[in-house]
Amino acid sequence: MRLEVTPTWSLVVPVQVLAQAKSRLTGLPQTARAELALAMATDTVAAALAAAAVGLVVVVTDDAVVGAQTARLGAVVLPDEPAAGLNSALAFGAGYARDQLRGRGVAGLAGDLPAMRPDELTVALRAAGAAARAFVPDAEGTGTTLYTAAAGTIFEPRFGPQSRARHLAAGAAEIDLPELAGLRRDVDTMADLRRAAEIGLGPRTAALLAAVEQLQCDPADGPRCARSGR
């Protein structure tokens, strides 16, 4: 079900170059890590574009494959001109978004949320509309998956280690609602990805995870391997 809400937010999604992405997905070859990173980013952007509260999605990336795939979905793709880390990329994208659609709030979203659903994002953005700045913590309770700044408010994201504490210290309101499980589940490790799968993955990530787990099966396990999803 798509919530009927006027699109009042622009969204910025930074995506790392695939060759450098998701080094903590251990046990996988680099090509598989890159493919999973691409699938997760694409599922995240597709869900964001489908959210009723979102009128513009800006992807900031220097990866040509990410740029091509997310542009086909309908995102605006910008190169990471600052090249100074995650928060600088977010601020750069936010500046572009505000130039294009003045009077709207701007949000920064993690690019590795393959279980996020459009309505979750809309629920979070509606809640964020009550505060000048707000954020959604990650499932572990230490990081951040979404940061918002209302129209006319300085956009100052503090993503990175212990970002939940840093956003709270900066006065951002915390949005912690039970219906945001997919939005809160970012993925750095295979364990994270399997937890996201329990919520429900986007189609690209789901297909790749199934293929990866089949490759990791030991043929000696026979039918048990296929049943268990090892």
Nearest to 16 by CA among 111, 151, 132: 111
pLDDT at 150 over 80: yes
Residues near 84 by beta carbon (within 8 Å), at least 6 away in sequence: none
pLDDT band, residue 230 (cuts 50/70/90): very low
pLDDT digits (tens, 9 = 90+) for 30-79: 888 899 999 999 999 999 999 999 999 999 999 999 999 999 999 999 99
pLDDT band, residue 3 (cuts 50/70/90): low
Q: Is the pTM of this model over 0.95?
A: no
Handedness of CA 202, 207, 210, 215 (dihedral sign): negative
Give the mean model confidence (pLDDT) for residues 218-222: 50
pLDDT digits (tens, 9 = 90+) for 71-110: 999 999 999 999 999 999 999 999 999 999 889 999 999 9
* CA-based radius of gyration for the chain: 17
Q: What is the pLDDT of residue 192?
A: 95
Q: In a 10 Å sphere around its CB, with 0-12 CB exposed, 13-18 middle and 19+ buried, how is residue 137 labelled? A: buried
pLDDT band, residue 227 (cuts 50/70/90): very low
Give the mean model confidence (pLDDT) for residues 181-195: 95
- Which of the pair, 104 or 215, is modelled with greater confidence? 104
Q: What is the pLDDT of residue 99?
A: 95
Residues near 171 by beta carbon (within 8 Å), at least 6 away in sequence: 133
Tokens of 33: 């890590």
In this structure, of 22-36, 109-123, 188-202, the range with the lowest mean pLDDT score is 22-36
Domains of the chain (ranges, CATH numbers): 9-228 (3.90.550.10)
Tokens of 35: 């493919």
Q: What is the pLDDT of residue 6?
A: 63
CA separation for the pair 177, 14 (Å, rounded):
24
pLDDT band, residue 214 (cuts 50/70/90): low
Q: What is the pLDDT of residue 23?
A: 81
pLDDT digits (tens, 9 = 90+) for 157-177: 999 999 999 999 999 999 999
